[in-house]
């Protein structure tokens, strides 16, 4: 069987390290390269965790030979992800993107490039099955309980806020409910930011604490009742089954998809 040749961008980071191990362990995948500008190694085998793995390390995109790679997995940073995805799409490499923080305009631009080049790709704000289900359940609940607030909780090294998952949850909810001003129209914040960020009338609150990984609660309030939907990702390994599915399926498409649910 032909193995899928994979590059992991951001391999020195928290998610990149877990992903590199997953790719090496999967017998359907071949790790064709790893990329991270912060790397000082030229081969993965120089790292104690990977001493038997002869895999080239790239520190500049221009050095990457696109013809040797089928799928580009990206867990990098909000400032680098756009250029990385553009590079992958223009070299006919299918991007599987976990990095959050892309703007709507950037996503639209990338969708156009994917369509023009007929390359399949996925941007998934969350690869965890529990988070995908939470988003689906929240959209369902919002049809009946339109007053909603979102609390997302992450580790304190996270760069972007709110999280991609919280934004996506709000976006999905806004598809099924009319724009709505919640709370008291006369309310005043005596401390700026106390009511959180505003997405079409929905409030999103971002918590950053050591010890946390990735967690989200969606709170609905109705007449005399309330509903809370919560998901917890306790370990980065929880994202890996979603990444595996995406790497296996993404080359069957010829457009850029948003959300893991499109592949499940
Ligand atoms: N979609 C999901 O399920 C999911 C889950 C967890 C985290 N994330 C997201 O993944 C991203 C990475 O998170 P993390 O905790 O691993 O961050 P991290 O800071 O630990 O790692 C990021 C790595 O990317 C590297 N990097 C920076 N610019 C780069 C470039 N141009 N090319 C290649 N590598 C580059 C950095 O040197 C660093 O090693 C964040 O955006 C985070 O929100 C997504």
Of 107, 121, 98, which Cα lies nearest the Cα of 252? 121
pLDDT score of 181 = 85
pLDDT score of 35 = 98
Q: What is the mean pLDDT of the chain?
A: 96
pLDDT score of 180 = 86
pLDDT score of 260 = 94
Q: Which domains does the chain have, with CATH numbers?
A: 4-123+237-263 (3.40.50.720), 129-233 (3.30.360.10)
**Which residues are catalytically annotated?**
154, 158
| pLDDT lower than 50: segments of the chain | none
Tell me: cis bond preceding 162? Omega within 30 of 0 counts.
Answer: yes
d(CA 65, CA 17): 22
**Residues near ligand 1 with C-beta < 6 Å?**
9-10, 12-16, 35-38, 75-78, 80, 84, 98-101, 124-128, 158, 214, 239
pLDDT score of 178 = 82
- Mutational pocket test of ligand 1: of 18, 40, 75, the residue with most ligand atoms within 8 Å of the beta carbon: 75
Ligand-binding site membership of 220 (annotated): no
For residue 128, the ligand 1 atom closest to its alpha carbon is 3
pLDDT score of 264 = 85
pLDDT score of 179 = 79
The answer to whether the pTM exceeds 0.75 is yes
């Amino acid at each position: 069987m032909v193995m899928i040749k994979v590059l992991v961008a951001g391999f020195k980071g928290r998610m990149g390290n877990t992903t590199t191990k997953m790719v090496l362990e999967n017998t359907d995948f071949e790790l064709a390269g790893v990329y991270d500008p912060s790397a000082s190694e030229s081969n993965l085998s120089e790292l104690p965790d990977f001493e038997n793995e002869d895999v080239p390390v790239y520190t500049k995109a221009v050095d990457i030979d696109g013809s040797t790679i089928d799928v580009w997995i990206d867990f990098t940073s909000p400032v680098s992800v756009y250029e990385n995805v553009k590079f992958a799409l223009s070299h006919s490499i299918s991007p599987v993107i976990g990095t959050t923080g892309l703007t709507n305009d950037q996503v639209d631009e990338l969708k156009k490039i994917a369509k023009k080049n007929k390359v399949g790709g996925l941007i998934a704000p969350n690869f965890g099955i529990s988070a995908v289900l939470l988003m689906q359940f929240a959209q369902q609940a919002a049809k009946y309980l339109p007053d909603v607030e979102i609390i997302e909780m992450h580790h304190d090294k996270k760069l972007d806020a709110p999280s991609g998952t919280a934004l996506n949850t709000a976006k999905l909810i806004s598809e099924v409910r009319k724009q709505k001003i919640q709370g008291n129209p006369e309310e005043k914040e005596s401390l700026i930011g106390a009511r959180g960020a505003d997405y079409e009338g929905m409030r999103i609150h971002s918590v950053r604490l050591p010890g946390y990984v990735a967690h989200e609660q969606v709170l609905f309030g109705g007449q005399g009742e309330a509903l809370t939907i919560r998901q917890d990702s306790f370990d980065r390994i929880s994202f890996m089954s979603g990444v595996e599915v995406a790497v296996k399926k993404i080359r069957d498409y010829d457009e850029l998809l948003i959300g893991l649910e499109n592949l499940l």
